[in-house]
Amino acid sequence: MSGKYFIDSNIIVYAHDIDKERREIAEQDIINGAISGNAVISAQVLSEFFVTVTQKIKEPLTLHKAEAEVGLLSRLEVISLDFFLVQQAIQLQRKHRLSYWDSLILACAIKGGCAEIHSEDFTHGRRYEGVLARNIFLK
C-alpha cells in the first residue's frame, strides 16, 4: 500500500489489547504509518481511544499511561474537528447510511487526503467518496 491512510480508534485500541495477534497487526499498522508519515488520525480518534482504554477494555490503562499514549499518537498527522467537518459528516451520513461518528471519520479521512481508512466499522473493500475501507485484520 502506498499513500496516506486514516487509522480508526478501534485499530489503535487493539494495539493495547490482550489479544496478541490483533495487537501485533495493529501495532505494525501504526508503526508503519508513523515511519512513512502516511498515517492520519483525528482529534475524535484520540478522544475515543482515551475513553476506551481507560474505561472499556478488560485491562484498562491508567490515566497517566493513556495520556502518554495520546501524546505519542499526536505525533501522527492529526485532523482537527471544525464546523465544516461536522456539516460534511452529516451529509456523508445521509448519503452512505453510516453512523454519524463513522461519517465524521470519513470526513476527516477525506480532509487528510487519505486513500484508505483502516477500521473494522466500515464495509471492507467498499469505497466511500473514493476512500477504500480496509479491515487490516482480515487475511
CB-CB neighbours of 79 under 10 Å: 22
CB-CB neighbours of 51 under 10 Å: 13
Identify residue 13 by its one-letter amino acid code.
V
Alpha-carbon distance of 62 to 22, in angstroms, equals 21
Q: What pLDDT does 123 receive?
A: 96
Per-residue pLDDT reduced to its tens digit, 2-59: 699 999 999 999 999 888 999 999 999 999 999 999 999 999 999 999 999 999 998 9
Alpha-carbon distance of 135 to 114, in angstroms, equals 15
Per-residue pLDDT reduced to its tens digit, 88-105: 999 999 999 999 999 999
- pLDDT higher than threshold 90 for residue 82: yes
Q: What pLDDT does 2 receive?
A: 60
CA angle 132, 38, 20 (to 5 degrees): 80
Longest Cα–Cα distance of the chain, Å, equals: 40
Q: What pLDDT does 18 receive?
A: 85
- pLDDT higher than threshold 90 for residue 139: no
Alpha carbon separation from 91 to 73, 105, 118 (Å, rounded): 28, 13, 21
- pLDDT higher than threshold 80 for residue 124: yes
Considering the segment(s) 5-134 as one domain, its CATH architecture is 3-Layer(aba) Sandwich (3.40)
Q: What pLDDT does 109 receive?
A: 98
